[in-house]
Amino acid sequence: MRDVVFCGLMRTTLNLDEDILLVAKQIAEQRGSTAGQVISDLVRQALEPRRQGAVRNGVRLFHPRPGARKASLELVNRLRDE
């Protein structure tokens, strides 16, 4: 079986919910891109297999985003009590 790779643009018609198109256009404006490119990027990202995180004591571990601050015990307790 031969792999088919499409390079470049392909014009097609999709029916999108109005709110989805509005958000895609807003993101495109922020990025200096097009709504079509934003939607393509989001679909491509959604189709990538998710990495299974490590599990410790039955709890799935995650990697914080770069630059994220660490949660202090004080913060955890305050959020728990809210």
- Rounded Cα gap, residues 37 and 39, in angstroms: 5
- How would residue 5 be classed by pLDDT, with cut points 50, 70 and 90? low
Query: Which pLDDT belongs to residue 25?
Result: 96
- How would residue 10 be classed by pLDDT, with cut points 50, 70 and 90? confident
pLDDT in tens, 57-72: 988 888 888 888 888 9
Place of tokens 């959020």: 79
Assess whether pLDDT exceeds 80 at residue 4: no
Q: Tokens standing for 13?
A: 């018609």
8: left (phi over 0), alpha (psi -120 to 50) or beta: left
Residues 6+ away with beta carbon under 8 Å from 55: 61
- Rounded Cα gap, residues 82 and 76, in angstroms: 10
CB 31 within 8 A of CB 40: no
Q: Which amino acid appears at position 12 of this protein?
A: T
pLDDT in tens, 31-48: 999 999 999 999 999 998
